[in-house]
Amino acid sequence: MEGHPRWVCGATQTLVLLAFIYLVYTQSFGFDPINLYSGTTRALSKSATLEEVGVLKDTNLQPLFQSLLGNDDLQNQLQTTGFACDSTIHSLVCIASNPLKIDTKTMQIYTTKSTLFNSTNSTNILHYKQVRPYAWSQLSLLQNITPVNFLPEPPPPLHHHCTHTHPVPALVFSSGGFSGNLFHEFNEIIIPLYLTSRVFNSRVRFIVVDYNPYIVTKYNRVFSRLSDFEILNSTVDTAVHCFPGAVVGLQMHGFLAINSSGVPKGNSMIEFRNFIRTVYGLKTVNVSDITGAATATAPVLVLVSRRKTRSFLNEDEMVDMMEDLGFEVIVVRSVKKMSNLERFGRVLSTCSVLVGAHGAGMTNQVFLPAGAVVVQVVPLGLEWPASVYFGEPAVRMGLNYLEYKIGPGESSLSDTYSDDDPVISDPGSVFAKGYYFGKEMYLDKQNVRVDVNRFKGTLSEALRLLKRI
């Protein structure tokens, strides 16, 4: 017992020494060594250089960044200059692989002047010094997207001080655009975000410009699965965040599309649907797994009922016909019900057939089990978007796809226009006047009165695909 006080004293001295070392590290180097890889943000000293920022990275990022670039020239440019942009018909993605600072108040990105702005290939680099980080590079969409600017870091004492540092790269994208429309949310945010961020295995931090709280809340499960870190909201965050590198923009391969040959390679829409099934805890993998699939139990058919445009004018008659064929019909009329992805996803995951007129509701096919049947009712003049936006994607997702093209007499436009009017006989001539002429006529003003006897044949084919007849 006589040695006990000395032991206590020795332990106290050790703790004091450790505390002193900890204080020296936090004060001298500006970061907390205990939390270095904890996933939290840390403050660097105000005199921190971009090289000191780079010390914090927790993995070799160069191969990951290069996997997001489409050819060897771009990869070599990134290796040489620390900056490269991959521009495709759909999207633009810019990558800075050197340590950088992001002022989230202004969305200015500061990086080392020598590697970015004094490059021998500066013509290409300076062309992309401003990026609007929305996946679909359509001019009419980009005009309302907040720009992100790449600038050289000014020399001391004018350089920007790090408020927070991160050991993982930043991924900057916009939640603006056509948010509020399920098709555009998946097409331009969720699928491109999955495609671009998966290479980092959740070790990436999202910075969202044009921050939309509805989108962040609605897809919180997806965001939290793709990143281990809380989203940075550029509309309220006024700090300078320092990262070992950044990706600005999202890869987009096509409409509801992931091409295995595109960058990053090795992905597909089937893998994306598996990811969605995991995120929302959907148990059914294949339509054959549904209880009673090979018994007398009625297969479930979900009918997406539109209220304002492209609505079914004889919906009750359609439902009666579907039930007579042997389907258990669930009519979904509320957009609010469909917006609860966890709940509605569970409904669709046990559904054998999804029926709807061309529109955003057909995006819900991502929740169907493999082998289920998508039946799209195609209104007059909408053959091309129906096929490209939903028909081709359904097949790529491992689903069966059927199309019911209405005749002129099934369109409500026939109540106003004669059969020989170009609106009925030549919709292409209407779209030729400009997209918005066609949109107003065929998307906004048209409803459908389905010929149930003819449509019955399409649904009978769905039963054959399900091996029910």
pLDDT tens by residue, 194-203:
999 999 999 9
Are 310 and 165 within one domain?
Answer: no
pLDDT at 1: 43
Domain that holds residue 59: 38-267
pLDDT for 338 equals 82
Q: Does the residue 392 lie in any domain?
A: yes
Q: Which two tokens stand for residue 162?
A: 């790090």
Q: What is the DSSP annotation of 44-78?
A: PPTT--HHHHHTT--S--HHHHHTTSSSHHHHHHH
Q: Is residue 284 part of a domain?
A: no
Helix orientation angle between 452-465 and 315-325, rounded to the nearest 10 degrees:
40
- ω before 264 within 30° of 0 (cis)? yes
Within 363-414, strands assigned E span 373-378, 400-405
Q: Are residues 260 and 302 in the same domain?
A: no
Look at residue 70 and tell me if it is in a domain: yes
Q: What is the pLDDT of residue 451?
A: 98
Residues (pLDDT < 50) of the chain are 1-9, 11-12, 14-47, 114, 119-124, 293
Report in angstroms the alpha-carbon separations of 272 from 52, 278, 420.
37, 10, 45
Residues 201, 304, single domain; the answer is no
The answer to the question of residue 275 being in a domain is: no
Are residues 190 and 309 both part of a single domain? Answer: no
Cα dihedral 187, 192, 195, 197 sign: negative
- The pLDDT assigned to 52 comes to 55
- Please state, in angstroms and as integers, the Cα–Cα distance from residue 151 to each residue in 102, 108, 361, following that order: 10, 7, 42
Residues 231 and 117 in one domain: yes
* Closest alpha carbon to 74 in 84, 64, 88: 84
The pLDDT of residue 56: 53
Tell me the chain's radius of gyration from C-alpha atoms. Answer: 27
